[in-house]
Structures are given as structure tokens and as C-alpha cells.
A and B are shown apart, each in its own frame.
Chain A
Amino acid sequence: MAGKIIADTLEHSTAGSLTTDYVVNGSAKSWVNFNGTGTIATRDSLNVASLTDIGTGNHEINFSSAMSDVNYSRSTHMQRENTTASYANIDGSYNNDTYSTTTLEVRTVYMNAAASGAVDSPIVSNQIFGDLA
């Protein structure tokens, strides 16, 4: 590709230097922001081919460029839709949920003093860090 720079170190005039390993290993390899309510829809993303709506509070993210293994790191945020106070909004998974190099299952769950359960969220965002295949 045109404009290629090959460098092992980036050096700032006063703030010191940084090896490009930090950039390569520390960059998100996939991210997505989507509406998990109604007929779900992606707002914006990188390296995502599709989403699968599996059920209430349960979605799969399908990657375009596969990860090299399943030891990648994920983080997810969800926003609760209604005004009921929630003490925690959680992304979790079960043992048998999909967790492959091309697909990741994400669950959005709420928990407060009165109740807990799966819930659809108007804003779900997810990031993946790790090595690409």
C-alpha cells in the first residue's frame, strides 16, 4: 500500500520515545457501537461484518478479519433504556456461548436491588484487543 512507514520506534521531541509494538499490540482490532433495541442496527464499527440478534440482551458480533486465537480481550458497555435505577449493567457470557476467532457472543444484563435479567440496550459498544490472524 502507498504511504508505508517502517519504524520500530516513535520519538517525541520532549516526551520521550515509544516502540511501535505499543501501537500494534495496543490498538483495538475490532470495535462496534450498535442499537440493541427494536430491529438492531450498527451505528459505526471497524472490522465487523454483521451482528446477529439472538434474543433479548443477546447478540453475536461477527468479525471480517479473524483473530489469530481465542485468547483475545473484550470489553463491552451498555446503556439501560428506561429510567429505573440500575446498580450494574453487565456484559457476561456462559460457558457454551460462542467465543471463536470470527464470532463473539455478547450479553447485556442489568442488576439492581429489586431484580436482574437480560435487557436490550439502546447503546451497546464493544472493543476487541489481541492478535489478528
Chain B
Amino acid sequence: MQTPDFKGTHLWDRLCWAKENLDGVQSDYRVVYEDSIDECAKILVPDPNWMACALQGGILPPVWVYHELAKDEASEGFKKHTRGYLLHETQPIEAMTEEEAIEYLIMKDVPQSVWQEWDSGNKPKMVICRKDQLPQTREWRNAWRISDELAA
């Protein structure tokens, strides 16, 4: 199905169009990351409807838009977004592969302190894996860490 020309269309309207017209895509990829030495590993799971948008193309804004909004939100005295138009008026990005979509999602939803320096310490702070590579039970979930063996 051809994506309509969505430039200038509110992002939420584009997502509603995708919900109506695209089938969700359950990705097998998971992103495991550690952003604090005092906390267990976190696991990022792509949303199937979002993944469908990413693979379709012409719906999602470029990831730098989210970084600009995050900068605004982190600024002192932030009350309300005044540059929300970036989400809606920036040219939507073209179709991505599933792997490119995961990279986009990492840059959108994983803290920058993790993905910018994911491999600069004694062991990786972030790993992309398949769902079936994760433990099948959630026993001792609050103690899960990225395996030291990955550093080898």
C-alpha cells in the first residue's frame, strides 16, 4: 500500500492512518542495556504498530526531531513544548529495514549516555539480541545483568 503524502500532517493522524491500514510487525529483536551500575539490565521491546510504520516509510519523523524536543524538555523552566511542529512538519523518513528501525529506536528511546558510548567501558553497556536469547523465565529479574562473557 502506498503511503499518502504526509508532510505537514500531524504525526498522530499519520499513526492513526497506519493503525487502520497496516498490520503490526512483531520484531524478534530486543535491546538490552545498562544505564546504571546500581540497577538491573533494561530491555527495550519494539512496538508492532511502530515497527509497521518504520518498515512502511513516509510516516515517522527523523530521530533528530526527538532529540531537539528532549533538549527543550531538559532546559530550565520547561513547561510546554513550543516546537511540537517539528514532529509534524519535518519531512517523514523513508522506509527502513528492520535493523535500521532498531537503530532508530535505540537513538529515540535508549538514553544517549548508553548508545553514544555503549562499548567504551570494561564490557558493553548495550547488546542487540533475539528474543529467544533472553532467559525464558523472569526468575531473579531484578538482578539481570549483561553477561561478562560478552566483553571477550
Number of residues of chain B lying within 8 A (CB) of chain A? 46
- Contact across chains for B50 and A68 when beta carbons are under 8 A apart: no
B1-54 interface with A by 8 A CB criterion: 4, 6, 9-13, 15-17, 19, 24, 26, 30, 39-40, 42-50, 53
Docked Cα-Cα span, A101 to B43, in Å, equals 21
- Contact across chains for A48 and B141 when beta carbons are under 8 A apart: no
Q: Given A38-B136, A55-B141, A133-B69, are A69 and B79 also a contact pair (CB < 8 Å)?
A: yes
- Contact across chains for A51 and B69 when beta carbons are under 8 A apart: no
- Contact across chains for A46 and B84 when beta carbons are under 8 A apart: no
Residues of A within 8 A of B6 (CB): 1
Q: Bits for B51-83, please: 1 = Cβ < 8 Å to A, else 0.
A: 001000000100000100110010000011100
- Contact across chains for B108 and A55 when beta carbons are under 8 A apart: no
A102–chain B nearest beta-carbon distance, Å: 7
Docked Cα-Cα span, A101 to B11, in Å, equals 15
Residues of A within 8 A of B11 (CB): 64-65
Q: Bits for B97-129, please: 1 = Cβ < 8 Å to A, else 0.
A: 000000001001100000000000000000000
Q: Bits for A62-90, please: 1 = Cβ < 8 Å to B, else 0.
A: 10111011000000000000000000000
Which residue on chain A has the smallest CB distance to residue B6? A1
B125-142 interface with A by 8 A CB criterion: 131, 134, 136-138, 141-142
The list of the 5 closest CB pairs from A to B, nearest first, reads A133-B84, A133-B81, A53-B43, A65-B11, A62-B109
